[in-house]
Structure 1
Amino acid sequence: MDALEEDRHLSSEEQLAKGHLKTELEKVLLMEEINCRQKSRALWLREGDNNTRFFHRIANSNRRFNTIGRLSINGAITMDQEEIGEGLVNFYSQLFIDEEGRRPLLDGLVFSSIDEEDRCCLDRPFTEEEVVGVVKDMAGDKSLGPDGFSMAFFQRCWAIVKDDIMAVLHDFHAHGTFEKSINATFIALIPKKPGAVECKDFRPISFISGVYKILSKVLANRLSLVLDKVVSASQNAFIGGRQILDSVLIANECLDSRLKSNTPGVLCKLDLEKAYDHINWNFLIYMLRRCGFSEKWRHWIYACISSVRFSVLVNGNSRGFFHTSRGLRQGDPLSPLLFLLIMEALSRMLDKACEGGFLTGFSVGNSAEIMLAISHLLFADDTLIMCGAEPEQIWYLKGVFIWFQAVFGLKINLSKSELVPVGNVPDVNVLAGILGCRISALPLMYLGLPLGASFKKKSIWDAVVEKMEKRLAGWKRMYLSKGGRLTLIKSTLSSLPSYYLSLFPLPMSVARRIEKLQRDFLWGGMGDEHKYHLVNWHQICTPLQQGGLGIRNLSIFNKALLGKWLWRVQQPYGVGLWKFIRAGWDSFSSHLTFKVGDGSRLRTTYRISGSSHHWDIAFSRQVQDCELETVTALMELLYSYPIRRGSLDELCWRPSSRKVPTRVAFFTWTAALGKILTVDNLRKRRVVIVDWCCMCKDHGESVNHLLLHCSVAQELWELIFSMFGVAWVMPRGVVDLLSCWSIKSGKTESAAIWKTIPHVLMWCIWRERNNRTFLGEEQSISALKCAFLQTLYEWLKASNLVCCNSISEMIDSCAVGS
């Protein structure tokens, strides 16, 4: 059709056929893109350009990286696929077999327990509403289990399969069992490093069936509601209200406090060998019992973890089918939550050692406050222990490790664990020899962030920049349009530094360096070749509503992320990183308001007696006669504020003070700069056009003339001045007008209307000018005034700035307020 159109005009039938073919082609390309996205796992291009060739290349590169072409078996390298498959099946079938023998218990330790209400909540029957919520919340295009059904299938076909799914869940609730085939699992092997040849160099990820995934997620959602009651504050993983960065910030504060005190100490970062794979089931059930879980719930959990049957995926083919007697699956929604209970036992053992004085921990606080000693921080299997630098403490710590291995079945790989001296520790070699671990130095990488490094140093950002450069080098930019590059920048490249930005202040030089990487990638610069950057980067970073592309400004984003700490934690004390973050409180608090509840956080007393309430205010001195009017106004303001009885006082984020749509505020800003495309500005850009104002039809058109001095504009401004009963001399320019206009302040309805008027009025004039210029439509001055008043009223009502119920009431409030 395209070739035919080049030679002659297409008939109406041919044009319809071409449109139909184009629609069908777009459907095929969309399905091809979705198929390639699932293969490539390039989730950062969930919605982007139709980069089909790019997706194919990514899929092929992942396939090459994940292909197991050779494997070391008993010290000999083999490339035979049958031998590789058999070797991997033997390795993992042995890995998940528990050693026989009795293990000691921890009956001497005290654990937190859930109450009867929590037990009833966990054991309650499954409802369709609960299950539907789980199905809808899960990603639909994740990897498939042995049954071949994705979550997208259950989401799309829920009306058809819901009765069968609910029957499985109800049977499980009643009897605690299900068909063993439901829990069949594929083990996918992900290389931990390029060129992996040893079986231990692969990370086993479980692909579970769709039906079991639904059941497991329902149980996990219930378990997550009560875990915070049994898991101590030293664990910050997978608990609502706790974050991974909490551990990093606390560790930094502990370290800074220790260094400031000049007291030597050590950090011990543990490496747990195949932590999930070595979990002892009996000990897990024991921990569930100690934490107060019902027998029914314990039976459910045991059924989920003990009925697993594995097959190993080797280059896309499943090998073997074997059962297990220990371990939790990485990929099962229940596994990370159950692992927390295992690590809680280690946390309680370390707490017991501190209570007995065998370990001291690092103290945080000052002389005016109660000192808090922190001995350990846990995030899943990432364990950081802080203690004194005395050999006696290290010997006791080693004893805890030995007992930990005997009880849990987990093994601490001391050869990969690290001992870091804090302060002057001359005998660090002796301490490391006791544990049998290696010696490291600060800064120490902990949970992906440098611990012990100066947060002001630019060098801590080198890892982030290198990661971005590596990612850019891996992307095949010649296959991407600018739309595709923009998608990648917004979805991936801008997110790479987010983890660091959430804790460390971003140096300006680093921000410029990262932004240069983004700019060069967007405009397609390759190596040393020069590419024109057609639009200013600041304009690109403005929101979409303001004509930009919505790419994040990293410096502003950094301040917002650091502000989250101020929202979550209001404690003033800090010696290092927290002290710097806390310094931003003044700027942050300017965006907060305070909602009064029960008055418990007020300095002024607020009393409630029966159905009445009153404020009990004590002034610092006697009120003078001339101040009575002011005091009366204060009391009226206090009693006019709605009090939320029965609720707590709380800080609230103050919404934006802008009372007009964003596009209008952007227009006003542009007009104040004199950049809107009036006739004089168009002529500056060499557009041939008559210098004529289409509003008054008497003068040339400029920004200031159109919006302020035109006879039509003056009619509207006079309407405003008459509404408020004020005399006003119109200034020369828009900037001067806005400066003078902002002088009038207050929180009355009249003041709110006054502040909004310039935006509304100039916007209405601009729209009328455009309608006359491009559409040939012209309103009378009376109709224009009515349109202005209607627009003003609607915007004020939408912003909840006025309580009036009509335009006439709004006009009356202006006269009263003035």
Structure 2
Amino acid sequence: MEVEGTVFEEDQDIQDWVLIERKFDKDEILQALQSSNGDKALGQDEFTMGFLKKCWRVVVLDVMAVFEEFHDFCTFEKSLNATFLALIPKKQNARNIKDFRPIGLIGSIYKLVSKVLTNRLKTVMENLISESQNAFVGGRQILDSVLVTNESLHSRIKSGIQGIIYPQQLMYIRLVLTYFEAMTGLQVNMSNSEMVPVGVVPNLSVLADIMCCSIVKWLWRFGPQLSLWRRAIALKYGTLSGGWITRSTQGAHGCGLWRSISSGWSDFVQYVEFEVGVGDHIRFWDDIWCGNRPLKDVFPDLYSISSNRQANIVAFLNHPASGSRPEWNVTFSRNFNDWEVEGVASFIEFIHSHTNFKVGGDGLWWRLKGNGLFDIKLFYNALRDFHPVNFPWKAIWGAHTPRRVSFFAWVATWGLILTEDHLKRRGFQLVGWCSMCRCDGETISHLLLHCEVAYGSWTFVFWTFGILWVLPGCVLDLFFGWHNWLGKNQSKIWNLVPSCLFWTLWQERNNRIFENVERIDSQLYELFSNTLYDWAIAWGYSSSTSVISFLESLHLT
């Protein structure tokens, strides 16, 4: 179809064209004005948006005249777009250009025109932009493409089928970025980098944005929608529970991104209710849609005789006439006994009180917030209160060891370093022995605590301090019992010992496996002593002039 010289292939294109080309009306302009911030920097006309809001009845005719001229002639006075840049200092005694924040002093009328045009484009942007483009469109995120790419590569690698990932294009992009960096000298701005604290963080939502760790929100966004990333995930894993989550992503090989995200569903669903619309994606008996519990838990006897326990709500609804309330038609596999009639009556009364369904499709309601919208901070607080985590983080991160050593100790405490037993669970075929003692299988507790070599190293430590100690069963218990054992003011060097010895044993283990180099026990003790001495001197914990005098100063008796 051709309209005013433009050819349209679909009716939707004509509707979009009409929405864009229609004349500006007063309500549309007023809505854009009310949604604007009124106290932004004023332009050369010396008026803010707040002035237009307060004096709308006075200036409405003049504003409408500007919009009518813009619509008819597709242009406006150049002075409306004239602007200056003002530099606002970020700190006192600002000298460098980077110490200033640029503010554009553009006129309020031009801001209003831009706002109205933006609101119009929002209504048609989804049809104009391809669904594979995830930026600048409401409801889409750039990270959607990251998820789809990660899962696609994971599936290809896991299947073993050869494929092409366009290496020439990737190399070209890398060269362009390299040349750009070399020519401009741009690099990471360390003055704007963030220091992320360890432990309880007050501004959790800010930290979540910095760390990009709001991954649980993907579960909130999944739902029965039609976005590209959702279809890709559903096609790969399949769906359960009316399309609200995928099937379990089990398997030893690979680590798809969605596998980590979906693992939080059991915690997430505890704080979710279902909003019934059509009812075709909510299970009548199993999902929480009326009250705080599923119907199968509230009426277990009736659930046991239901003729269709997996049915969605829509299967039990009758819509007699347009505009009237729906009626229930729940079916059972047998007639009711006399003693069951009272329970059936309360069941019917209960479900009849929950027929005020919303218009449109089914949705989720976040129970922790009044408006029903998901909030990552509230979810974190709920999980922390519901699943209190007792972890010796002060013993690890507060011991003033090098960062990579602290990180290794932290991973070892969680039981996640790649010892032989972990590698076997990932499908690797390995010899079932410890590379240190060549006897038992290599686990984290065995390698760092109970191995013959590790036990000898711990015996040397206890002999150095002149104490007797019984080693616990795991690394976690060791840190719990070790931290500040000599008192808060006398345990600075003492707190360094576990991480230092763990790091020494791990280095020796890797040297034996990958370099085929092995130290004898005395050399291992010497390496540990030298490392502990260097750390203590670096932090000012000791004034000893030699390793021997340092070890002698550690003896408690």
Q: Greater share of strand residues, 1 or 2?
A: 1
TM-score, structure 1 as length reference:
0.30
TM-score, structure 2 as length reference:
0.42
Larger RCO of the pair (alpha carbons < 8 Å, separation 6+): 1
